Amino acid sequence: MAIFFIVFFKLDGFPFRLWDESMFAVNAYEMQENGQYGLPYFNGEIDSRQTKPLLLTWIHLGFIKVFGFNELAIRLPSAIAAGTTIVALFYFLRKNGNAILSWIGAIILLTSLGFVTFHTGRTGDSDALLTLFTTLSCLHFINWLLKEQGKYLIYTAVFIGLGIMTKSFAAIIFILPFTLLAFWFKRKATLALFKAKEIYFAIGILLLSAFIAFGLREIAEPGFIQRTFYKDAGRLFDTVENHAQSWDFYINHIFYSRFDFWTPLFFLGAALAFIYPFPNQNLTLIFQSAFIIFAAYLLVITLSSTKLIWYDMPLYPLMAIVAATPIYILLEKLALNLNYQVIAILVFALIPLRKAFFNAQSNTMNEANKKVEALGIYLHAKSKQNKYESFTIWHQGYLGTLLCYKYMYDAAGANITIKYTNDFSKGEKVLVADEKLKLKLISTHVVDTLEYNKNVLLTQIK
């Protein structure tokens, strides 16, 4: 129930976000319309800006066929992925620890503010799906460290492969700490893998995933691999689209706001993972592995020249495991019966749960984003009132959100035209948000003001 209210409740209560949700939505809608399942399209043309693999777009396409084209259809895959990640973490900790540890870890993850917000668990971007797959790969790899059964390496490869098919190089980063952990904890077993068929099967899965993600697109669109290496892998060494930040960008955001309440417990848990004598040695390996994978991924994105705040989402499941350590130890030391332990956890989690709910439901944008996304805010509000009107939008920026609502309004029987130029006819209704365009419209045409608010002007040409 907590997952429903924090992750799913009023999922369509805010407009399509400009970056990058609207891009994924347009790609999926146009794929449905043109039947081109191997290429993303945007405004009727191949979307060369979109260098991410198409797995999420295919998933969006399926949800559009079921729910129609709207905010809910585009966001449900991310919400389901976020919810599934929480459930997967719960069952992993329950199987390898106990019920109390599983509840602690799941609650910490659910109430991590950076895990359920814009561009993560509540919008139609690729990060929630990536996080599901990377988390499952981490959990299965730790299972291999615990049990040395080849099937867990195959499961690890499957989910890394799905991660590659979701967000390409972001998933590949996890192979680095996996390799380190394998030689650190299981050197003999790791060396023996070179004689085991499972490792070659796993490698084959990764190569097949890479071919689906890159090879098929290269066949359909020659030059794609070169472009995606420059734009995606190149983010490690060059600043892409002016997304340069200070070296401590992620550290500040994670520990001072996005992990919020749980930050002190994370640092305490990180220390305890290496110094506390756990009676169950499996827990020692789990806590240490989670911290090492966390540290490796954080190091890579910190050293990357291009930094965006949502790149941190795969870290939160790992941080939840580490932050659960002190609470778990405390409750074990207190030796309370199970009912009292559950009550203690719920009381302790009440404030974080409340804060997570209101954070998820606030859907607040800063003033700068409200101006940039003013047209989307207006069109969303009208659609929720079932007031679908026909008019022209004069806009000279990125069209992602506007195309989303154009398609929605068209399906409702209205007609939205998007124009770049100041070429309007008598009687034409014109919607505009940019301040310079507003002034130019008023100075070059005689208009009647039909609607005006802080950011949007709707007029009719006289």
Q: How far apart are CA 365 and CA 327, in angstroms?
A: 34
Q: Report the DSSP pairing between strands 416-419 and 429-432.
A: unpaired
Q: What does the pLDDT read at residue 11?
A: 94
Task: Report the percentage of the chain scoring pLDDT > 90.
Answer: 75
Going by C-alpha positions, the residue among 338, 373, 285, 275 that lies closest to residue 101 is: 338
Q: How far apart are CA 246 and CA 259, in angstroms?
A: 19
pLDDT at residue 377 tops 90: yes
Q: How far apart are CA 213 and CA 161, in angstroms?
A: 9
Q: What does the pLDDT read at residue 296?
A: 97
Placement of tokens 């984003």 in the chain = 369
Q: How far apart are CA 220 and CA 431, in angstroms?
A: 38
Going by C-alpha positions, the residue among 40, 23, 52 that lies closest to residue 233 is: 52
Q: How far apart are CA 363 and CA 115, in angstroms?
A: 14
pLDDT at residue 139 tops 90: yes
pTM of model > 0.85: yes
Q: How far apart are CA 249 and CA 303, in angstroms?
A: 10
pLDDT tier at 130, thresholds 50, 70, 90: very high
What is the residue-averaged pLDDT of the chain? 92
pLDDT tier at 282, thresholds 50, 70, 90: very high
pLDDT at residue 91 tops 90: yes
Mean pLDDT within 299-323:
94
Q: Give the tens place of pLDDT for each residue, 150-169.
A: 999 999 999 999 999 999 88
Main-chain phi, psi angles of 261, to 5 degrees: -55, -30
The letter for the amino acid at 28 is: A
pLDDT at residue 369 tops 90: no
Q: What contacts 54, CB < 8 A, 6 or more positions away? A: 37, 38, 40, 165, 217
pLDDT tier at 128, thresholds 50, 70, 90: very high
Main-chain phi, psi angles of 429, to 5 degrees: -85, 130
Token duo for residue 359:
């954070």
Q: What does the pLDDT read at residue 370?
A: 87
Q: How far apart are CA 15 and CA 122, in angstroms?
A: 12
Q: At how many degrees (to 10) do helices 71-96 and 127-147 cross?
A: 20
pLDDT at residue 236 tops 90: no
Task: Report the percentage of the chain scoring pLDDT > 70.
Answer: 99
pLDDT at residue 336 tops 80: no
Going by C-alpha positions, the residue among 120, 421, 384, 142 that lies closest to residue 273 is: 142
Please answer whether residues 402 and 17 qualify as being in contact, where contact means their C-beta atoms are separated by less than 8 angstroms. Answer: no
Please answer whether residues 462 and 450 qualify as being in contact, where contact means their C-beta atoms are separated by less than 8 angstroms. Answer: no
Token duo for residue 193:
């893998």
- Total residues found in the chain within this entry: 462
Placement of tokens 């420059």 in the chain = 230
Q: Is 105 exposed, middle or buried (0-12, 13-18, 19+ CB in 10 A)?
A: buried
Q: At how many degrees (to 10) do helices 315-334 and 71-96 cross?
A: 40
Q: Give the tens place of pLDDT for each residue, 343-361.
A: 888 888 888 989 898 988 8
Q: How far apart are CA 314 and CA 329, in angstroms?
A: 25
